[in-house]
Amino acid sequence: MSFDMTVADATSPPKSMARLFGLGVFVLLVLFAVLVPMFWPLDIAKQDYSAILSSPSDAHPLGTDHLGRDMLARLASAVRLSLGLALVSVVTAAIPGVLLGILAAWKGGVVDKLLGLLTEMFLALPGLLLVLLIVAVFPGSFLALYGAVALVLWIEYFRMTRALSRTVLASPAVAATRLLGFGPLYVIRRHLLPELLPVLLTIAAFGAASAIMAIAALSFVSVGVKPPTAELGLMITELLPYFSEQPFVIAAPILVIFLIILSLMLIAGGRKP
């Protein structure tokens, strides 16, 4: 093989296309989660022992699980839970993260140092471990689950906002703008936000993905959401023993969680900053 790079002007597949595709899948998932309960109002906990692990039929378009519960209703409920959780924790994390990030970059000095140290210390513990411990303290509490995820996520917003704001605020462009007489609000509107927003979108999408994965992982190992709640990780763990009998049933939650994470990653674009 050659060790010289052959195509210097090679372009990666159009990023915006991937992002658009991700957005499309994501919208479909949201519609699925919102519309199914309106048109298919079956109880997700209602067991039907006459129809265990049944294949798709008119009565159960996506079949039933090992307790005869309707998979369509359960999947829609699970997607709603995951997306709802992601939305709440991402928003909860973003607000203090961004505001404190801008504050630290703007003020500098002691405020900046203290906040910086605090977050770096927090990073000493892997996020999932922190969530797991908090969930252990408050078992079965949704609020604790949301709170724990938000507590892990806000650090990313803070760090990126701080780093980016610092670069932007120290740039000659901001110095020039200030010299021309513009105030801090103008600097935020015309310099800071245009640089911050795309990065925040990326962090939000990654944050949502990792929140969903964390909850699913905890439920998968039976320390997260409790039955009979429909949750993707929990469904996979419950259905795993019945794979040989009815492979289709476990394939559904696996495909759905894959699509959720994929769409979020494509929306985020590229790699974690």
Interface positions with another protein (CB under 8 A)? 1-13, 120-121, 123-130, 132-139, 171-173, 175-177, 179-182, 186, 190-191, 194-195, 213-214, 216-217, 220-223, 233, 236, 240, 243-244, 250, 254, 257-258, 261-262, 265-266, 271-272
Q: Give the Cα separation of 226 and 222 in Å (integer).
A: 7
Pick 37 or 116: Cβ nearer another protein: 116
| Minimum CB distance to another protein, residue 238 (Å) | 12
Question: In the bound complex, what is the minimum distance in angstroms from residue 246's beta carbon to another protein?
Answer: 13
Please state the closest distance from residue 54 (CB atom) to another protein, in A: 20
Residue number, 57 or 222, with CB nearest to another protein:
222
Note the maximum CA span of the chain: 78
In terms of CB distance, is 42 or 237 closer to another protein? Answer: 237
What letter does residue 123 receive in the DSSP assignment?
T
Q: Which is nearer to another protein, 36 or 196 (CB)?
A: 196
* Shortest spacing between CB 207 and another protein, in angstroms: 13
Can you list the alpha helix ranges (DSSP code H) found in the chain?
A: 15-39, 71-107, 109-122, 127-137, 142-169, 172-179, 184-186, 193-220, 232-239, 247-268
Is residue 224 exposed (0-12), middle (13-18) or buried (19+ Cβ within 10 Å)?
buried
State the Cα–Cα distance between residues 55 and 179, nearest whole angstrom. 71
Q: In this complex, which beta carbon is closest to another protein, that of residue 46 or of residue 190?
A: 190
The DSSP letter of residue 70 is: B
Q: What angle do CA 90, 141, 218 make, to 5 degrees?
A: 70
Structure tokens, 104: 């630290």
Q: Which is nearer to another protein, 15 or 46 (CB)?
A: 15
Least Å from the CB of residue 28 to another protein: 15
**Short-list 250, 257, 225, CA closest to 236:** 250
Least CB distance from residue 114 to another protein, whole Å?
Answer: 14
Q: Which residue, 1 or 110, has its beta carbon nearer to another protein?
A: 1
d(CA 150, CA 22): 24
Residues contacting 154, CB < 8 A, separation 6+: 92, 93, 94, 96, 97
Shortest distance, position 40 Cβ to another protein, whole Å: 25
Determine the Cα–Cα distance for residues 111 and 132; give it in Å rounded to an integer.
30
